[in-house]
Amino acid sequence: MWTKFKGTSGRCNAHARAAVRLGFHDAGSWNKYTPVGYGGADGSLILAGEISHLENNGLQNIVQIIQGWYNEYHTYGVRMADLVQMGATVATVTCPLGPHMRSFVGGKDSYNPSPEGLLPNVFVDADSLIRLFQDKTIESHGLAALDSMPGVWDILFYPQTINKVAVPPRVLKFQSDEVLSAHPDIEKYVRLSLLGVNNINKLTECTSIFPAAVNSYTSPDQNYLNEWLGGSMSSIGGAVSEAVTLTTGFWSRLVFIPGLDSHDSLLEKDAIGFDVAGVWKGSGVCS
C-alpha cells in the first residue's frame, strides 16, 4: 500500500489523503444507537454502495483502488473492512511526520448500508460536534489534518485553525474545525478505527508490517510548494497532489505559453500520470 501512497518527493499523495478520509467515513457512520450490523468500521462504504452518499463525494478514486485490492486478495481471506482501515493507518505513517499507529485486522464485513447523517457537518458548532462524538462513545475528539504542507502530516493544524500562524490561500479551514479547536474539552487526537466492531477480542494486530515512521522531513522543493500554496503556479496542482518532486526533472517536462511570463503559464508537454506503481500484497495474515 505504502508505495501507492507515496510520490517521488517522499511526501504522501492524494491517494493517501483520500485513504485517511475513507477510513474515517467508513468507521464514523455509527453511534451507540445504531443496530448491530449497521455502520462502523465494516467496509460497508464500499460494499453497500455508500459512495453515493453526498458526504462521501470525492472518495471515488480511492474506493476503486481499495476495490481492486479486495478483488485480488479476497479469496485469500482479506476483508474489505480490514483493507479500508489498514489503508488509513498505512497512509498516515506514509506521510512524513505521521504517527505510527496500532492497526488490527479481522473485522467483519457488512453489506448493510450505514445510516446517513452520522458524520460531522463542517458548519456545526462545537457543542454539537462534541455531542455527535459522545454518541460514538468518544468524549473528546481531535482532528488530524493533511492540509498546509501537501503530503506531510499537518502538525500545524491547531495553530492555523486558531489563527496563531498564517494560513496559505490554498488551505481551506472548515468552520467546524475553528469552533472545535476553541472548545475547552479538546486535548488530543482520537482514532475511530474500532467503532462498531463487535469482535475486538478476536482481532489480530498488524502494526509490525508497517513501514517505519518518517520523523523528520525537509522538502526538496519547498520554494515551489510555497508559491503554489500562496495561490500562484496553478498548473502544477496535479503534480503537488501526486507528491511529485518539483525539481529539475519535473520542470523539463513543462513549457511556457508564448506571450506569458508567469509561472501560471506552465503546461505539461504530454499527459503523463504521476501515479506511483506498486501495491502492497498482503496475505491477510500478520506476523
The CATH number, out of the four listed (3.40.50.300, 3.30.420.40, 1.10.1740.10, 1.10.520.10), of the domain defined by the range 2-209: 1.10.520.10
Please say whether the beta carbons of 197 and 40 come within 8 A.
Answer: yes
What is the CA angle 117-84-237, rounded to 5?
A: 85
Rounded to whole angstroms, the Cα distance separating 242 from 146 reads: 14
CA 171 to chain centre: 16
Residue 17 CA: distances (Å) to CA of 12, 197, 256: 8, 24, 31
Residue 63 CA: distances (Å) to CA of 56, 80, 96, 236: 10, 11, 23, 25
Q: What confidence score (pLDDT) does residue 44 get?
A: 95
Rounded to whole angstroms, the Cα distance separating 236 from 150 reads: 12
| Cβ neighbours, 10 Å, residue 81 | 27
Query: What's phi and psi for 205, nearest 5 deg?
Result: -80, 135
Q: What confidence score (pLDDT) does residue 74 get?
A: 94
| Secondary structure class of 54 (helix, strand, coil) | helix
Based on the residue annotation, tell me whether 141 is a catalytic residue of this protein: no
Tens of pLDDT, residue by residue, the chain (287 residues):
888 998 888 888 889 989 988 998 998 888 888 888 888 889 999 999 999 998 999 999 999 999 999 999 999 999 999 999 999 889 888 888 777 777 888 889 999 999 888 888 777 787 887 788 788 777 654 443 333 444 555 444 444 443 444 555 544 444 444 443 344 433 333 345 666 666 766 777 777 777 777 777 788 778 877 787 788 877 778 887 888 777 655 554 554 434 433 443 333 333 222 222 222 233 344 54
Please say whether the beta carbons of 85 and 46 come within 8 A.
Answer: no
Residues at the binding site for Ca(2+) are 26, 40, 42, 44
Torsion of CA 13, 16, 21, 26, to 10 degrees: 150
Q: Which residues contact 75 (CB under 8 A, 6 or more apart)?
A: none
Residue 3 CA: distances (Å) to CA of 11, 78, 243: 11, 19, 12
Q: What are the domain boundaries of the chain? A: 2-209
Per annotation, catalytic residue among 25, 74, 141, 263: 25
Residues at the binding site are 26, 40, 42, 44
Q: What confidence score (pLDDT) does residue 281 get?
A: 30
What is the CA angle 285-286-287, rounded to 5?
A: 125
